[in-house]
Amino acid sequence: MKFGVVTFPGSNCDHDMIDSLRNDLGQEVIELWHKDKDLSAFSTTDCIVLPGGFSYGDYLRCGAIARFSPMMQSVIEFANKGGRVIGVCNGFQVLCEAGLLPGVLLRNQNQQFICKNIFLKSENNVASITKDVTGRPLMIPIAHGEGRYYADDATLDELEKNKQILFRYCDEFGNIIDSANYNGAIRNIAGICNKERNVFGMMPHPERATSTALGNTDGQLIFQSLINNN
């Protein structure tokens, strides 16, 4: 699988993502610039990644301006053709703004920026990105001020019905409880996908948990699931 990592003005996790995929996971990575449009080097079995940061300074709303960048127009077309797209943190916000994923990311419930290791768990054995990690708590860092996932009840019920919820915040034992939900996300949701299960968004940063030098490689399991189930 080939990965394309997009850099927007204000991205600050793009090199983290590139290093993780290229050096820790041994994948081919092509760096993409927000003003470019060409995705001809990628097939629908490849993956475009929207990294974390503060695209365009997060003016208006997080991800609201990035959604209109030339590259995002191509990413939307790529996703609509079945190509895989992952948005992490700010990238998740961009995907929601672009209409590729439902719902929004609101200010954290405590109105503060949160940066810490947390635990998440997947019960989704259908999506390629979670198929190999279901049922076990993973320690993955978060770093966001607006990561509280929200959608109306009808949308949430659809997500549940269609198995579009990828991850939920949990404690170290895998219990999905309020005290483990640091940003106050509705139904403890930490990540979702679209109905076709080729567009994935998550607030925690798996790319920050792929190196033995950092003492945590749980993020490798998430990326490896995507690669193994290509």
| Rounded Cα gap, residues 65 and 97, in angstroms | 9
| Rounded Cα gap, residues 2 and 227, in angstroms | 10
The answer to whether residue 49 scores a pLDDT higher than 90 is yes
b (16+ CB within 10 A) / e for 115-136: eeebbbbbebeebbbbbbbeee
Instruction: Tell me the mean pLDDT in the region 125-138.
Output: 97
DSSP per-residue string spanning 65-98: TGGGSHHHHHHHHHHHTT-EEEEETHHHHHHHHT
Two tokens at 33?
Answer: 């610039």
The alpha-helical segments, DSSP class H, found in 70-196 are 70-80, 90-97, 153-161
Q: SS3 of 210, please? A: coil
Res 230: pLDDT: 82
Q: At 142, is the pLDDT very low, low, confident or very high (cuts 50, 70, 90)?
A: very high
Q: Which run of H or of E encompasses 49?
A: strand 47-50
| Rounded Cα gap, residues 52 and 61, in angstroms | 15
Could you report the per-residue pLDDT of 144-158, keeping only the tens digit for each?
Answer: 999 999 999 999 999
Instruction: Tell me the mean pLDDT in the region 21-46.
Output: 97
Domain boundaries, the chain: 2-228
Positive or negative, the Cα torsion across 58, 63, 64, 68? Answer: positive
DSSP secondary structure code for residue 222 in this structure:
H
Instruction: Tell me the mean pLDDT in the region 154-172.
Output: 98
Homologous superfamily (CATH) of 2-228 is Class I glutamine amidotransferase (GATase) domain (3.40.50.880)
DSSP per-residue string spanning 15-39: HHHHHIIIIIS--EEEEEETT----
Radius of gyration of the chain (CA): 16
What does pTM read for this prediction? Answer: 0.96
Amino acid at 196: E
Res 193: pLDDT: 98
Res 23: pLDDT: 97
Count Cβ atoms within 10 A of the Cβ of residue 85 and give its class: 0-12 exposed, 13-18 middle, 19 or more buried: buried
Q: At 95, is the pLDDT very low, low, confident or very high (cuts 50, 70, 90)?
A: very high
The answer to whether residue 76 scores a pLDDT higher than 90 is yes
| Rounded Cα gap, residues 120 and 168, in angstroms | 5
Res 59: pLDDT: 84
User: Annotated catalytic sites, by residue?
Assistant: 89, 205, 207
